[in-house]
Structure 1
C-alpha cells in the first residue's frame, strides 16, 4: 500500500474510514465513468450499469483520511510495472471500489424448524422426555441476484468451501428444494448420536489483529480489577483513535512487539 501511494496509484493508506466526503465525489465519478479501471480488474459484465456513488459518501463518518481509492492514473497498462504483491493489492482496491457502488445482493433465506415427534419417545430408541422438547433449526440461503458479490466471485467460493470437510461427507445444512412451509415430516427412528469437537478460534492475521486493536475493549475480561475504567478508556473516541494506537501507528506497534518477542526468544 505504501508503495502504491508513493507511485500515486492509491490514496493515503493509513486510514480506517469506509466512506469518502462530498469533496471526493467528483473524483469517484471520473473513476467509474471510464473503462480504464475495468479491463484486467473486473469481469466487464459485472460492472454496474448505474453505479450508486451516493452509498460511499458520508462526511460525518470520515474523521481523518477518507477510504482508500485508486487514483485516476490507474489503468490496465500500469499493472505491468508492478510486482506481484502490488498488482494484487491494486486490483483489490479497484474491485472494492466497484463493490461499494454496485447493486445489492438479493438472497432468499429458507428456515426450517423441527421437533422430535412424541412417537419416537420409547425406551427402544433411547429418546427421553427431555429430548422431545429439543428443537432443531436449519437455514439455507440462495442468491437470487449476485449484485456486488459478482465483482469478486472467488470470495464467495472460498466461503462455501471448507478444507476440514472430507469430500465424501454430504452437507447436512442443505434444505431440499421441494421443501415448503407447513410440511409434516415422517419421523425416522431410532436417532443416532454423533460426537464432535469444537474448533479453537482462528489465528490472528494482520487484518484481524489490526481490527482487534481498534476494538480492544471487546477482548477485556470484565472480571478483572478496574475493568470498567479500562473499557471506558479504550472506547474513548474523542480523538477518533479508540482502542490501541491509531490507524497510522497500529502496524508499527505490531512490528515493535514482534521484534521484542524475537529478541526474548533468542
Structure 2
C-alpha cells in the first residue's frame, strides 16, 4: 500500500518529495515513488457557490430574496483548476493508497483548502494524518511527518475555517446586495457613474471606517500655536540646552496665558519672561544655579521577534513597500528554506525550538554581513539560557512561533530587496542573544531667581544589542544611542551637583504648534488591525496586548490590496500613506446610516475572537452559526425598513467638499 502526501503548492510538494527521496520527475500533476505519492493543490481548488447555484432566480438581485441564509451550503470546483482537482481526487481515492498525509499550509486557511478537497472528492476509508511544520527544511519536514497527528485533532480548526468562509460569504453577499439595491442609484447619480456596486465585508468595511475616521480627525483638528523659552547654558566650555518650566514660585504661576506648563499662548508673554530673567541674570553675574541633577539608569532590552504584522510595518517604514509585497517576499524566503512560516501572530519561540536554536545561529555564520555577530553569540553561549527569557513562551503561540532564519542556502537568487528583508529578520533574531542597551538619563534643574529651566539628557553607556540593529536604522528614526555621545560632555553633566553654577549663554523663543494625528501608513494600519483598531506605537506595549484583531495575519494584506483595487482607499506608493477616496467616504456614509456596526473595530474583532473560541473548542459551530444568521438577518430587515436615501444626498455633498469638487 502507498502513502499519499498532498501539499498546497507545487513548490512545497517538490520539497516534500526531496525530503522523502521521491523522484522529482513530474507525472501529470503528481510525483510517485515505490511506496509514496506526492501531489498538490494550486491554492484553492474548491469554492462556495454563488446564490444562483441554489436557485436560478437568485441571479437577479432583489430585496424580496434577502436575507439569503441557506441551511446547507453548496460548493463547486473552481474553473481553471478542474484538471488538477480531478488528478488529486483520483489519487485520494486510489485503492492502493491507505494513508493520506495532509501537508497544506499549517494554519486555518491551509486546513480549509484540504478539507474542501476531501469533501468534494468524497474520500472514505482512508487514514488521514495532519503534518504541521514551521519551515521547509528537510529536518522540519521529516519531523512533521514523524509527529503527524490524526486529522480529527484539527476538527475544531476546520470548523472555524468553514465558519470564517460562511461568515464572509453571508455578510458579503447579503450586505453588498441589500446596500447596492437600496443606495446604488444615489451613489451612481452623485458620482456621475452609470452604475455603482457597493462592496461590503466584515473586515474590509471596518478598515475603511478606520481610515475615514482618522482622516476626519485630521480635518477637524484645530492647530494651537505656542511659544517656549529656551536657555543655553555653558560649563567647562560645553553647552547644555534647557527649557523653561513654570513652578509655584514663578512670576507666571497659574497665569491664564500659559500653554500647559512650559509655554505661552502669545509671543509677547514669552518676551516678557525673557526680559524678566535677563534682569535677574544681570544681577547675578549671569549665573544659573543647579538645583538638582537626577540621574537614572535605564535598560532597554532587544525587541521581541517578528510576527507578520510587525515585519510588514517595519518594511513599510524602511523600504516603503506594501504589506502585500512584504508577504510575497517572506513567502519567497520561506519557500527557499531561509525563514520559518510567515503567516504567524506570535513574536516568541517555542520551548522545543529554543532547545535547538544553535542550529539557526550556526547557519548565519555563513552570512558574511552577520557572521561576526553569529560567531560571537555561539562563543559566549548566551543562546543556552534563551528559554528562561521573555523570547520563549509556549502560551503565546497558537499555530506558529515567530519568523526567524532557518538557513543560508539559495541566497544568490535573491533580489536586493529580498536580501534586505532577510537581513532584517536575521538581525532581529540575533539581537535577542545580545545584552540590553544601557542608558544614563539626566534631569537637570537650573534656577535663575525664581524661574526654573530643565534639561533632559539621555546618553547610551552600553550599546548592547544596538550594535546589531543600528546599521539598519529606519529612515527618519531617532538615533537610539542618545543625545550626545561626546565623552567630555557625559563627564561634564555627570559632575553637576546641587549648587553648581553655569553661565547663561543665551535665551531664546521657540515657536511650536500642536500637530494632528498621523495618517495610517500601509504598515501602521496592519498593526492597528492586529490590535483591534488601536494604533499602539509603543513596541513593548503591543507585546503585552493579546487578543483577536481585525482579520488574520494571513488575510490583512489581501484585504488592503482589495480596498485599493476597488478604489475605496488610495495608497501613495512613495510614502505608503493611506487616504480614503471620495467613493470610499460615500460608502462609509451609506454603511454608517444603515449597518453602522460594520464600522466598529471592536465588534469586528469580536467575530474573529468567536472563531478562535470555536477553534479552541470553547463554543460550538452551531452556537456561532446561530449568532451569525441572527446578525445578518436582523440587519437586512432593518435596512429594508429604512427610507433615508434622499437625506443622504446632503451628506454626500458635504463630504465632496473635501475633494475640491472632483467626484469619482
Matches within 5 A, 1:82-161: 82-118=414-450, 132=451, 136-155=453-472, 159-160=477-478
Q: Find the counterpart in structure 2 of residue 215 from structure 1.
A: 531
Alpha carbons of structure 1 residues 13 and 211: separation in structure 2 relative to 1, 3 Å: same
CA apart distance, 1:35: 5.8
Matches within 5 A, 1:1-266: 1-32=330-361, 34=362, 36-37=364-365, 39-42=367-370, 44=372, 47-48=376-377, 49-52=380-383, 53-54=386-387, 55=389, 56-71=391-406, 74-75=407-408, 78-118=410-450, 132=451, 136-155=453-472, 159-160=477-478, 176-177=489-490, 178-179=492-493, 180-185=496-501, 188=504, 191-218=507-534, 242-261=548-567, 264=583
What is the Cα-based RMSD across aligned positions, in Å?
Answer: 3.3
Bigger drift between 81-90 and 21-30 goes to 21-30
Aligned mates of 2:559, 2:453 — CA distance in 1: 46
Structure 2 contact 424–472 (Cα < 8 Å) conserved: no
CA apart distance, 1:108: 1.6
Alpha carbons of structure 1 residues 208 and 82: separation in structure 2 relative to 1, 3 Å: same
Alpha carbons of structure 1 residues 80 and 109: separation in structure 2 relative to 1, 3 Å: same
- TM-score scaled by length of structure 2: 0.30
SS in 2 for 1:14: coil
More strand by share: 2
CA apart distance, 1:152: 2.6
Structure 1 contact 105–148 (Cα < 8 Å) conserved: yes
More helix by share: 2
Q: Find the counterpart in structure 1 of residue 190 from structure 2.
A: none
CA apart distance, 1:68: 0.5
Alpha carbons of structure 1 residues 108 and 22: separation in structure 2 relative to 1, 3 Å: same
Where do 5+ consecutive residues of structure 1 fail to align?
119-131, 162-170, 220-236
Superposed CA offset, 1:206-233 (max 9, x none): 33221111223436xxxxxxxxxxxxxx
- TM-score scaled by length of structure 1: 0.68
CA apart distance, 1:12: 0.9
Where do 5+ consecutive residues of structure 2 fail to align?
1-329, 536-544, 570-582, 584-662
Alpha carbons of structure 1 residues 23 and 214: separation in structure 2 relative to 1, 3 Å: same
Aligned mates of 1:255, 1:24 — CA distance in 2: 34
